[in-house]
Structure 1
Amino acid sequence: MSPEGLLRDALSTDPARPLVTYYDDATGERVELSVATFANWVAKTANLIQDELGAQPGDRLALLLPAHWQSAVWALAGWSTGLVVAPGGDPAGADVVVAGPETLEAARACTGDRVALSLRPLGGRFPTPPEGFLDYAVEVPGQGDRFDPYAPVDPQAPALAVDGAEYSGAETVRRARETAAGLGLTPGSRVLTGLGWERWEGLAAGLLAPLAAGGSVVLCRNLDRLTPEQLEKRRTEERVTHTV
């Protein structure tokens, strides 16, 4: 199994349950996506990758993004299309780069396709599209709600580049399950994390381990703006079982 298989399992088990709850404590934004809603975003994004960008299995996708619900969508969409997902990866060595407002200049080192995310509330568009980039919020709404890859994803092919190493899809799933077990995650566990995704620890806590365990994640950006009292209130209100 590759990582996108974990999402298929979640979709077949309980599509209505929350999967990703996102907070930005600099803007006050809160977004909650059920498994079904998240999977719909993944399908649309995968269709964009496959049909509009023309990326091929084995191509490298550099994600120059903070921990964000759209980062999670792009990671699963990349795996659904057989790409090698590289959080924080070198854009100069990538076939496709996805960047937020703070990393647009770095992303220009990519000679392939460039996609820009405004990271505005509700997935809003850029007021002015960045030159040399596709605006994700403009391109994705018209994509299909179902995704079928032109070729089956090979679980043994490279799927993730992180911490200076590459892992196949099957290895990524195995590591996700091992991390979930190490954290004590079980079905229904709810993980709160503010870690970035450039390292395995952040990527696992913010997406892969909860998904592998049948749990969910409360993904927080700018978490350092909260007081201890506010953080504890969030843990209580969001029924958090684990904090990483």
Structure 2
Amino acid sequence: MTATDRTPADLLRSALAADPGRPLVTFYDDATGERVELSVATFANWVAKTSNLLQSDLAAAPGDRVALLLPAHWQTAVWLLACSSVGVIADVGGDAGAADVVVSGPDSLDAALACSGERVALALRPLGGRFPQAPSGFADYAVEVPSQGDRFAPFAPVDPEEPALIVAGREFSAAEVVDRARAEAPGLGLTGPGSRLLSGLPYDTWEGLNAGLFGPLATGGSVVLCRHLERLDEEALAKRIESERVSVTAR
């Protein structure tokens, strides 16, 4: 990470330049038994493809609002960084009716139909699998994203002072996301490169987003992101913490 990083997308570029092979996001779904580990390079490739989809196929432009109706999930983290790369506002859990684009998981499709713009659905199946049949009125992310380019360049420069994130009614610029993630890192126990945080927090608050993505990204660390963590007993959780070499938890 460098002092010149002013957006979350900048942080990812710096992480990619520093050590592309290290783990960045390790995801568990304790309802399905899924485990996915993404290196910085693999995560950045997903972000590049999603950014191209967002900018080109979905015609999103800086200042547009993208409602993310998604749980804490590795694909949600990808979308958050894609929004930062394009310069659109990621409105986490936002009103689909007020959004230019909506990105929905399988449990929020009815609410997502309120969007009059482009609609994308994520099946959130293991290994990024597609829906057996795409929901009516939606593009299936798993069908659309593989053919997108592996490199991304925004059509317009992203202004770090413009709105970039809305969560729990609070708006942040891209620069505020970076600055706050850095400032709050010590409180999370993130001491620098190599820190590994296990988060069971949802993505519907700043605290959840910071612990589950932005804090580790801003400090050269990594995150073990756990969905349905409440299904684990303390013994199983202790084994995960040991096996994943977790240094700090947020749950």
**TM-score bracket relative to the smaller structure:** over 0.9
Stretches of 4+ aligned residues off by more than 3 angstroms? none
More moved, 176-185 vs 33-42: 176-185
Q: Which residue of 2 aligns with 1:90?
A: 95
Structure 2 gaps of 5+ residues are: 1-5
**Structure 2 residue 60 is the aligned partner of structure 1 residue 55:** yes
How far is 1:165 from its partner?
1.9
| Match status 1:160 vs 2:165 | yes
**Aligned-partner Cα distance in 2 for 1:152–1:36:** 23
Q: Could you tell me how far apart the structure 2 residues matched to 1:93 and 1:99 are?
A: 14
* Secondary structure of 1:171's aligned partner: helix
Indicate yes or no: 2:38 matched with 1:33: yes
CA RMSD of aligned residues (A): 0.7
**2:249 corresponds to which residue?**
243
* Mapping for residues 186-205 of structure 1, pairs under 5 Å: 186-205=192-211
Corresponding residue number in structure 2 for 1:139: 144
C-alpha distance in 1 between matches for 2:127 and 2:117: 27
CA distance in structure 2 between the partners assigned to 1:215 and 1:70 by the alignment: 19
Are residue 2 (structure 1) and residue 7 (structure 2) matched? yes
Displacement of 1:162: 1.6
Query: Whole-Å Cα distance in 2 between the matches of residues 75 and 126 of structure 1?
Result: 22
Q: Percent identity?
A: 68
Superposition TM-score, scaled by structure 1 size: 0.99
Structure 2 distance, partners of 1:70, 1:45, is: 10
Deviations 1:52-110 (A, max 9, x none): 00011000111111100000000000110001111111111111111111011111111
| Mapped pair 1:127 → 2:132 | yes
Count of residues in correspondence between the two structures: 244
SS at match of 2:152: coil
**What is the CA distance between 1:184 and its match in structure 2?**
2.7
SS of the aligned residue for 1:102 comes to coil
Aligned partner of 1:238: which letter? Answer: E
Secondary structure at 1:22 match in 2? strand
Q: Which position in structure 2 is the counterpart of 1:209? A: 215
1:12 corresponds in structure 2 to: 17
Asked if residue 220 in structure 1 is aligned to residue 220 in structure 2, the reply is no
3-state SS of 1:180 partner: helix
1:106 maps onto 2:111 in alignment? yes
- Structure 1 residue 163, shift from structure 2 partner: 2.6
The residue that corresponds to 2:3 in the other structure is: none
Amino acid of the structure 1 residue aligned with 2:22? R
State the distance in 2 between where 1:137 and 1:43 align.
14
Which residue in 1 is equivalent to 2:240?
234
Distance 2:184 2:125 in 1: 31
Q: Deviation of residue 187 (structure 1)?
A: 1.0
Distance 2:235 2:38 in 1: 26
State the TM-score, normalizing by the size of structure 2: 0.96
